[in-house]
Amino acid sequence: MNHKFSRKNDAIRISDKQGKHVIWEGMPDNCEIIKQLQIQDRAIHVVLINSDEKMGSFQNLIAIDNSGHILWKAELPDPLTGDMYVDISLQNNRLIAYSWSGYRVEIDLTSGQIISRKFTK
């Protein structure tokens, strides 16, 4: 079944293809959503959540299923320095994330683990 993925205020709304029946609506980890990507072939949604209220390292890149359950929280490239992700994009069906500490990483869409990392600062 295809789902429609939209935003309502600071929350995510997942509904049926026509947008008539809401399947799930909420804020993952009770945090504001900065950016989201729908991964069609995997029926998951990758969400970058706001980390302004958190101190230190914060796993703010998560994947949720069509019912709003958290599937994984992405590994951080440098968790000891108070790292977090600041942007994400989908490039050639690969999840690319950029961290506050200056890393560009590719994240495995199945596990949230880092596949490759490159320091860019």
Q: What is the pLDDT at residue 51?
A: 67
Residue 89 confidence (pLDDT) above 80? yes
Q: What is the mean pLDDT of residues 74-89?
A: 89
Residue 106 pLDDT class (50, 70, 90 cuts): very high
Quick one: pLDDT at residue 75? 95
State the pLDDT at residue 42. 75
- pLDDT averaged over every residue in the chain: 86
**Domains by residue range for the chain, with CATH:** 3-119 (2.130.10.10)
Q: Is 46 exposed, middle or buried (0-12, 13-18, 19+ CB in 10 A)?
A: buried
Taking residues 66-95, what's their average pLDDT? 90
**pLDDT tens for residues 1-60?**
577 777 777 788 888 888 788 888 888 877 888 898 988 777 788 999 886 665 666 899
- In this prediction the pTM is 0.85
Angle (CA) 73-112-75 rounded to 5° is 65
**Three-state DSSP state, 79:** helix
Strands 11-16 and 114-119: what pairing?
unpaired
Quote the longest CA-to-CA distance of the chain. 46
Q: Which residues of 61-97 are buried (b: 16+ CB within 10 A; e: fewer)?
A: bbbbebebeebbbbbbbeeeeebbbbebeeeeeebeb
Can you tell me the distance from the alpha carbon of 2 to that of 17, in angstroms, rounded to the nearest whole number?
5
Q: To 10 degrees, the CA torsion angle through 89, 72, 11, 44?
A: 60
pLDDT of the residue at 56:
62
Inform me whether the pLDDT recorded for 76 exceeds 90: yes
